[in-house]
Chains A and B, each alone.
Chain A
């Protein structure tokens, strides 16, 4: 059984973003790029399944510009077996176009499971995996916090507002992963050494039988601005016991940091 993992290269969340002078896009020059953190969870989950002997191969799929190979190698160094790389600048397309490319690429491998992060941390659109599922006519479950394979189906817990919800999904199917499902591993030195020998299969749009003109975004960005920091300035009242209780409630239920 093959597992496909959809992976996106995004600017490092620690980097300081600048907007281009036309105010329409993020200035990509001099940025450090990393794998979108939710995708790390997707890869980790796939690797765990393979290590448990329930899958034969973990294949990473990405659409990205020249230079994305570096992020792909990180996925291979985490332990993925090989990669499929659609070399296209994703900023020229919207989620629909990217999903069409990924769906066409995934189809060439026919995996039983398709994993992805619940969203990419650059545009936060949460669109691509679900669209891929629709295009491939696969059932899907999003924001998964627990994944269990049982024969020809998967039982998963999905995070919903204030609770969780368990669904059983017949395979083949697509799942998007939430933080907390696992702790992604760091690439190990032996795997880094092996990564350069692993295959990265490159596809152009033509190879996938796609026409760029038909995929280009129907949306136009009219403007982009950096967020302004708004402080909440919440002041808690009551005696110290009450204030601690309120603070804990906020941290637990509103901020979900505990």
Chain B
């Protein structure tokens, strides 16, 4: 699998950007549990806030491979900031692109793509995660408006978002149809809870989004009434493919740091790299990372060619996310006691990596999804 000239150039540019604008601050952002708002504009200037948004809506018009390459490079240095970029582009802008009509795209996408504001996507609720279709948030039509009530849990970018995509039940009963709405920041009744304190992805803000009699104009419904969950599945399928690139970024970071350290650190009179136990660990880390990257490239290119990828997305995310956590754990082991310290970054990669086994479909449900396709 080789990348074409454009994608190589993009990779180099994203790498330089991450090395200069992110890497020097990532530890501090992790400690402070926030990356500065100015980063959103900087990312926008690079075209990283409207990656797959077509040019006519103010975006860069890139494909999913471009998206994946950017995510790998950003995740290499800061998972939290990268998660913010992923949720913004893949989930919020992604849902508007899939479900929205021309007017909605024209109204909302340019500001999101420029990085004038960041977007959030609100699916999960306190009582429904994996079983997202069990959501209790409800929207009721009132003339030219819909009135939304409910609570959304674990919302990435929720604290500072300018635009929220919110799913709510619009059909009758506990399992009635689900629709999606665009809700603007500042709409009365929309409020956010305190920033969650997390294991990893700490520079990204994760909050509860409360909706109390939030009135949105009917033209803010994304797609026809009742199609919300179909679009959610499509958003998540694509999301699983690209979020795997974040895992590849974590694994690569862990390998690079471990290799560098193994050459510098001496024990028993030689660099620890010379011990076969370390060499084989590093080789395994490298092999696993490359396998994850190839699987990710394969799924991304299938997505770009419009091929069905439900199973590939699930397989790729399970493999890439679990690889990243394991490789990061191994990197800590290679660094010994120093690996356990915040100063050396690898423990951060491990903390960040773990999330990808949970968000946008847990490993368990994705394995079940793969198995379903194997039923005779």
B47 touches A188 (CB 8 A): yes
Interface pair A77/B55, CB less than 8 Å apart: no
Known: A77-B13, A190-B61. A70 touches B6 (CB 8 A): no
Contacts of A74 in B (CB 8 A): 9, 12
Query: Nearest chain A CB to B9's CB is how many angstroms away?
Result: 5
* Cα distance A196–B10 in the bound complex, in angstroms: 13
User: Which of chain B's residues have a CB closer than 8 A to the CB of A189?
Assistant: 10, 13, 46-48, 51, 60, 62, 66, 70
Majority-rule SS of A interface residues = helix
B5 within 8 A of A: yes
> Is A186 an interface residue when CB atoms closer than 8 A count as contact?
yes
Question: Among the listed A73, A193, A195, A196, which residue makes an inter-chain contact with B60, where contact means beta carbons less than 8 Å apart?
Answer: A193
B5–A70 touching, CB < 8 Å: yes
Please report the C-alpha to C-alpha distance between residue A257 and residue B5 in the assembled complex, in whole angstroms.
35
Q: Which of A68-90 contact B (CB under 8 A)?
A: 70, 73-74, 77
Residues of chain B lying within 8 A (CB to CB) of residue A192: 6, 9-10, 13
Q: Assess whether A193 is in contact with B6, with CB atoms less than 8 Å apart.
A: yes
Complexed CA–CA distance, A230 and B213 (Å):
73
Q: Mark B4-35, 1 if CB is under 8 A from A, else 0.
A: 01101110111011000000000000000000
With A77-B13, A193-B62 in contact, do A186 and B46 touch (Cβ < 8 Å)? yes
B interface residues, Cβ below 8 angstroms from A: 5-6, 8-10, 12-14, 16-17, 45-48, 51, 55, 59-62, 66, 70
Known A70-B9, A73-B9, A193-B61; 12 more pairs at CB < 8 Å: A70-B5, A73-B6, A74-B12, A77-B13, A186-B14, A186-B46, A187-B9, A188-B46, A190-B47, A192-B6, A192-B9, A195-B6
24 A–B contact pairs at CB < 8 A? A70-B9, A73-B5, A73-B6, A74-B9, A74-B12, A77-B9, A77-B13, A186-B13, A186-B16, A186-B46, A187-B13, A188-B13, A188-B46, A188-B47, A188-B60, A189-B47, A189-B62, A189-B66, A189-B70, A190-B55, A190-B59, A191-B47, A192-B6, A192-B13
Nearest 3 pairs between A and B by C-beta? A189-B47, A189-B60, A186-B13
